[in-house]
Amino acid sequence: MPKESTGLSLDGQGKPLWLSLELTYRCPLKCSWCNNPLDFDKYTEHELSTEEWKRVLAEARELGALQLGFTGGEPLQRPDLEELVAYADELGFYTNLITSGVGLNEARMAALKQAGLKQVQLSLQATRAALTDQLVGTRAHARKLEAARLIKAHGFPMVLNMPVFRHNIDLIDEMVAWAAELGVEYIEFANIQYYNWALLNRDELMPTREQIRRAEAVIQRWRERLDGAMTIYFVIPDYFEDRPKACMNGWGAIHLTIAPDGVAMPCQEARVIPGLEFHSVRERPLAWIWHDSPLFRKYRGLDWLPEPCRSCAEKEKDFGGCRCQAFLLTGDAGNTDPACSRSPQHVLVQAAVTQAVSPQRFRKPLIKRSASGVCTTFMEE
């Protein structure tokens, strides 16, 4: 692996292999676990234009980016999505649409296929209409099922993503059954991570250890039954692990996110950390931002690691964990991720798990994603 002049080790030979374009934060859904910023609405008037996004694509390709995710918000809210997909395909990207499915109709599906789109990742919260609609704050279930049908009808390899939390984790069995009948190639059960809107709702969304164990057993049975016919991923929340996740495979290692206003980030949550200097592609070349900006070099590699990470034999596996989570839970992004049992602040995670499942806890309504941040609803458990 090549080394930077500072001696820092980078994966991907120093290239941003995965490019995530957050085309817009606009979205018809109001999910209580949304990873968009709490003040997402203030970016609406500052979205990059079509030509600016094309310049980003060209610069990223020159940097060596290979895989591309069009995301948001809801990327289908951009009328130029098909044009951007076509341009990315022309540049040689493997293009992936990450969508709620709301707004995906026959005409747009055909146009995206014609533009060269390679894969679609569809989110579905439940197989039950009433629950899906309640969770996302609008009548979306039928449109999601129609989107799934269109994706398969047009021959796309399909990744079905089910964000997992207390209210739907016990429905994993019927979700796999539904996906297998449809012919889904990949299904990811992603226990949500607690940032932004999900952090506001953590006590209400966090599942119990028992629920996670039952879900793991269900998935293992399906893996044996399907015998490779469908790939099933189950991402356990790091609050329930002894070690933190290798967030983005390391800060500034292989992942590059561009926000709707053109700000380039090592991950989509980086703006939660105060004191960092962010640069927009409107102001600086993407190559400079990736290679030389103080933001991307801040926590890149291993030399910055604190103790106990610096002395840990597993530091090249998890890179100290997530910088955003370290800040949100400890107030200092330079700390060891408290999800790690070796962190001096691990008690914060343990306390959060205990609080979330406490029978004495006062039950609160979910805070729905909204411009004001005050839309709430009670959920039946």
Query: Do 258 and 356 touch, CB atoms closer than 8 A?
Result: no
With H, G, I as helix, E, B as strand and everything else as coil, classify residue 16. coil
Q: How far is CA 369 from the centre of its chain?
A: 16
Q: What is the b/e burial string over 212-228, where b = at least 16 CB atoms within 10 angstroms of the residue's CB? A: bebbeebbeebbeeeee
Cα distance between residue 207 and residue 237, in whole Å: 9
Q: Is 312 annotated as a binding residue?
A: no
Both tokens assigned to 241: 């692990």
Q: How far is CA 21 from CA 194, 214, 240, in A?
A: 21, 35, 30
HSE value, Cβ hemisphere, 13 Å, CA-based, for 310: 8
Residue 31 counted as an annotated binding residue: yes
Cβ partners under 8 Å of residue 380, min gap 6:
none
Contact 123, 162 (CB under 8 A): yes
Locate 280 and state its tokens: 């927009």
Which secondary-structure segment (H or E) carries 110?
helix 106-115
Inter-CA distances, 283 with 44, 129, 146, 288, Å:
19, 45, 41, 11
Per-residue burial over 109-141, b if 16 or more Cβ lie within 10 Å, else e, is bebbbebbbbbbbbbbbbbeeebbbbbbbeebb
299 phi, psi to nearest 5 deg: -120, 25
3-state helix, strand, coil in the chain (%, to 5): 40, 15, 45
Annotated binding site for [4Fe-4S] cluster: 27, 31, 34
- Positions at the binding site: 27, 31, 34
